[in-house]
Amino acid sequence: MPENAAPAVVRVAVDAPQHSGLTGPLDYASEQALASGTLVRVPLGRRELLGVVWPGDAGPAPEMALRPVAAVFGAIPPLGADWCRLLDFAAGYYQRSVGELASAVLPPQLRELSPEQLAARLRKLQKKPAKAAVPEPARPALAPEQAVAVERIAAQLASGAPKPLLLFGVTGSGKTEVYLRAAEAALAAGRQVLVLVPEINLTPQLEARFTERFAALLPEPLAIVSLHSALTPAQRLQNWLAAHLGTARLVLGTRLAVFASMPELGLIVVDEEHDPSYKQQDGARYSARDLAVWRAHDLKVPVVLGSATPSLESWQHAESGRYERLTLAARIGGGALPRVRLFDMKALPPTAGVTTALTAPLLAALKERLDRGEQSLVFLNRRGYAPVLHCGECQWKSDCPHCSAWRVFHKRDRTLRCHHCGFTERVPSACPNCGNHDIAPIGRGTEKLEEQLTEALPGARVLRIDADSTRRKGELEAQLKAVHDGEVDILVGTQMITKGHDFRRIRFVAAVNPDGALFSSDFRAPERLFALLMQAGGRAGRDASGETAAEMWVQTWHRDHGLYQALARHDYVRFAGDQLAERRSASLPPFSHLALLRAEARTAEAAKAFLDAAAGLMQDEGVLVYPPVPHVVARVADVERMQMLVEAAQRARLQAFLRDWVPALLALKREHKAVLRWAVDVDPLAI
C-alpha cells in the first residue's frame, strides 16, 4: 500500500451499550479496505471489542480523526452477506442494535482470542474434497405418508421459491425419519443442513440418530456438529468455525444455532416448532422459529416446521395457504395413541380429592400396570415437596420476603426455596410468627408425589426427574438410561420428561393436576397445556407390541372443558379451530400483533410512571397501547415488575411504531432514573 494512501473508512457492528444511543454500526479507520463480514477488533471507550465489518457505505468523511481498527481476523473468511442480512433483520425486528446481537450470537471465545491464536485453531478445519462414490445409508422403507412428505420437501428443495412446510405429525408418526431423508437429499445436493431442537437435553439423542444414519456419507470429523449453550467455549468455537468454513455439513442445535454461519445452507428443520424455548427470554428476545422461516425465505431454501401440536401461528399460516401442510396421521407400526381417560375429581368423596393428588383410582391403575411389569409416567408441573408451608394457628405461610411468591418446601434438604429469586433458608422448626410447632405443607410437588408413590406401592422402583434431580452433569443421562433399560417402574417428573424422549416401555401416563392453566390470564396458556398433554400422552404406547392398551389419565375438576374433550379424541385440529375462533373474535395473535414494554424499579409507582410516560410519547391510531399492569409475579428479588401491552392489527404497523418509539424510550429512560431496567419484547410468548 502506498505510504500516503488515505485510510479507508469502515463501518463496524460492535456491541455499544444501549444507553450510549449508538445503535447502528460505527465508523473506524482502516489502512486497507476490508470486505464486509470481516471479523475485527476495535476500540470502544477504553475497551477493545470484537466487531464485524458491516455492509453498506460508511458515512461522509468525518471531521474528527476516526479511531483505527485494532486487529483484523484475516485467517477467517468473512461472514456472508446472508448472515449480515439475517442480523440486520433480527436486530431491526426485535429492536436491538446489530452490534449487540452479533456479539451475543457469535461464539464467546472469539472475543478473547487474538487473530493469531484463532488462525492456529483453524487451520485444522480445512474443508476436504467430497468423495466420489458414497455408499447409501441403510434406512427403513418409508410409510406412505412419510414418502409423500419427503417427496414434497424434495420438490421444494428443487424449486427456486419454496414455501415453508408444516410437518404436522402425531407423536411416533416418524417425523424424524422425514427430517433424515430431507437432510440426505440436501446433503447429496452439496448443501449444508441446519436442524433446530428446543432442548439441549434432546440434542445428544438426535445427534446419535443423525450420526448413525450419515456415518458413511459424512465420515470426516466435525462433519456433524452441535451448537448449544452447554458446550465448552472451545467446543462452541470449534463447531461454529466448522459450520462457517463448510467443514460441518450438518448442524444440530438449540435456538442460538439459527444464527450459525453456514455459507452453503440448503435446508432448515425446526423440530417441535411450537415449543416456547425457541423464544429467547432476555437481551434480544428473538424467536428462532420465526427467524428460521425468515432465513429460509431469504435464501430461497426450504424450512420444515415439525410438530404434533403446531403453534397456532403456524397452523393459521397453513390454513391460509402461506405454508404447505404435510400430515402424518398414522403412528409407525400402527401403535394406537393412548386412550385418554378424563378422571372427574368431582366424583370423589368430598374431601378425598382435596387432600391428595394420588387418588385411590389412580393408585389402583398404577398398581395394575406395576403388577403387569409395565412402566408408567406421572407428571406434575411443580417441583419441590409442597408449594407452601402453612401454620394452622396464625395462618402464616412461607412467603418469600423478596418476591410476591411462596417459597417452596423442599423436604429432601429441609429448605424453603424461592423459585423466582433463589432465596433459600432452612425450614423453621416452629412457625416464625407464633411459635406453633405444627406447621404443615399444603399442596404438592414432584418430591411429595415421589414420596407418596413409594409409600403406597412398596417394592415399586420410583424415579423422579426434574430440575432438582438433574442439577449435576450426567445425572439426567443416567436417569434416562435407567428408564430406557427398564430399571424404573414409575417415572415422576415435571414437563422435562414429557418432551421428545422416545421411551419405548411406558404404557401409562398420568397428569395429576393440570387444571391451573385453564384459568390463566395468559391467553396462550391453553395452547401450551394442550401441547404439553398431547406430548405427555405421546410418551405412552410408542411400542405397539405391548398386549394392553396404552392409557393417559387426566385428573380434572373440569371434565367438560373443550380442551379436555379435544384431548380425549386426540383432536388437535378441533382444538386449534376452537382456539383460533376465540383468538379471532378477541383480536389476539395471530390475528393481531403484540409487543410488550416491561419496566422494573424498586417501587411499582416508579415503574408505572415510566410506562405511563412511554404511552404518552406517541399517538398512532393503528396502534393500541394498553394501561400498565403488574407482571404475574409482580415482585422478584425486591424489584417491582410492570408491563404494558402494545397491539396493532398489522405487523408492519407495529414495526413502524416501534422504530420511532424505542429510540424515544432511550431518551425517556434518562429522565426516569428510578427505573432499573426496561425492555421491549416483540411477539411476546408469555403475557
- For residue 434, the partner it binds in ligand ADP, Zn ion, none, with Cβ less than 5 to 8 A by kind, is Zn ion
391 is an interface residue for Zn ion by CB under 5 A: yes
Which CB atom, from 327 or from 404, has the smaller least distance to ligand ADP? 327
579 makes contact with ligand ADP (CB under 6 A) = no
Question: Using CA atoms, how far apart are residues 270 and 254, in angstroms rounded to an integer?
Answer: 10
Please answer whether residues 295 and 331 qualify as being in contact, where contact means their C-beta atoms are separated by less than 8 angstroms.
Answer: no
Q: What is the arrangement of strands in the sheet containing 424-426, beginning at the earlier edge strand?
A: 408-410, 415-417, 424-426
Using CB under 6 A as the binding rule, the residues of this chain from 156 to 215 that contact ligand ADP are 169, 171-177
- Of 43, 148, 411, 423, the one binding Zn ion by CB under 5 A: 423
Interacting positions 433-452 with Zn ion (CB under 5 A): 433-434, 436
84 a known binding residue?
Answer: no
Contact partner, 176, from Zn ion, ligand ADP, none, Cβ < 5-8 Å per class: ligand ADP
Rounded least distance, CB 538 to ligand ADP, Å? 7
Strand partners, 391: 439
Question: CA 625 → CA 138, 205, 658, distances in Å?
Answer: 57, 45, 12
How far is the C-alpha of 687 from the C-alpha of 681, rounded, in Å? 10
Separation between Cα atoms, residue 640 and residue 629, nearest integer Å: 11
Distances (CA, A) of 74 to 56, 200, 519, 535: 20, 33, 57, 48
- Indicate whether 142 belongs to the interface with ligand ADP (CB under 6 A): yes
> For Zn ion, which stretch binds (CB under 5 A), given 136-144, 209-217, 250-258, 412-420?
412-420
Q: Which contiguous run of DSSP H or E holds residue 293?
A: helix 288-299
Q: Where are the beta strands (DSSP E) in 380-503?
A: 388-391, 408-410, 415-417, 424-426, 439-442, 462-465, 490-493
3-state secondary structure of 515: helix
Rounded to the nearest 10°, the torsion over CA 56, 61, 63, 65 is 80
Pairing of strands 375-379, 224-227: unpaired
Residue 298 interacting with Zn ion (CB under 5 A): no
Looking at 330, 370, 431, 625, which residue binds Zn ion (CB under 5 A)? 431
Binding flag, residue 238, ligand ADP (CB under 6 A): no
Strands 339-344 and 551-556: parallel
The minimum distance between CB 633 and Zn ion, in angstroms, equals: 9
Radius of gyration of the chain, Cα coordinates, nearest whole angstrom = 27
**Other CB atoms within 10 A of residue 416 CB:** 21
Residue with cell 410468548: 685
Shortest Cβ distance from residue 504 to ligand ADP (Å)? 8
Q: Does 332 bind ligand ADP (CB under 6 A)?
A: yes
Residue 140: name its binding partner from ligand ADP, Zn ion, none (Cβ under 5 to 8 Å by kind): ligand ADP
Among 402, 484, 651, 653, binds Zn ion (CB under 5 A): 402
Q: Which is nearer to Zn ion, 20 or 429 (CB)?
A: 429
**Which region, judged by CB under 5 A, interacts with Zn ion, from 36-44, 45-53, 346-354, 416-424?**
416-424
* Residues 29-68 interacting with ligand ADP (rule: CB under 6 A): none
Helix axes 144-158, 175-188, angle to 10 degrees: 30
Cα–Cα dist 304/306, whole Å: 6
- From the list 140-148, 423-431, 453-461, 603-611, the region that binds ligand ADP by CB under 6 A is 140-148
Measured between its terminal Cα atoms, the distance across the chain in Å is 57
Q: Which partner, ligand ADP, Zn ion, none, binds residue 592 by CB below 5 to 8 Å per kind?
A: none
The answer to the question of whether 391 is labelled as a binding residue is yes
**Among 350, 338, 343, residue whose Cα is nearest residue 512:** 343
Number of residues counted as binding ligand ADP (CB under 6 A): 15
CB of 144 to ligand ADP, least distance (A): 10
By CB under 5 A, residue 91 contacts Zn ion: no
Stretch that binds ligand ADP, among 27-35, 137-145, 258-266, 337-345 (CB under 6 A): 137-145
Per the structure block, which three cell numbers stand in for 259? 444464527
Binding flag, residue 79, Zn ion (CB under 5 A)? no
Binding test (CB under 5 A) with Zn ion, winner from 242, 243, 299, 403? 403
Does position 684 bind ligand ADP by CB under 6 A?
A: no
What are the residues whose beta carbons fall under 8 Å from the beta carbon of 686, sequence distance 6 or more? 276, 522, 524
Cell numbers 409482580: residue: 634
Q: Which is nearer to ligand ADP, 173 or 203 (CB)?
A: 173
Return d(Cα 184, Cα 249) in angstroms, integer: 11
Provide the CA 480 distance to its chain's centre, in angstroms: 21
Query: Is 431 known to sit in a ligand binding site?
Result: yes
Q: Out of ligand ADP, Zn ion, none, which partner does residue 418 contact, by CB within 5 to 8 A per kind?
A: Zn ion
Candidate segments 305-313, 385-393, 479-487, 505-513, binder of Zn ion by CB under 5 A: 385-393
Outline where DSSP puts E strands in 161-288.
165-169, 192-196, 224-227, 250-253, 265-270
Annotation-wise, does 434 bind a ligand?
Answer: yes
Report the partner that residue 332 touches, choosing among Zn ion, ligand ADP, none (CB closer than 5 to 8 A by kind).
ligand ADP
Residues in touch with Zn ion (CB under 5 A) = 391, 393-394, 396, 400, 402-403, 418, 420-421, 423, 431, 433-434, 436
Residues in touch with ligand ADP (CB under 6 A) = 140-143, 146, 169, 171-177, 332, 502
**Which residues are known binding-site members for Zn(2+)?**
391, 394, 400, 403, 418, 421, 431, 434
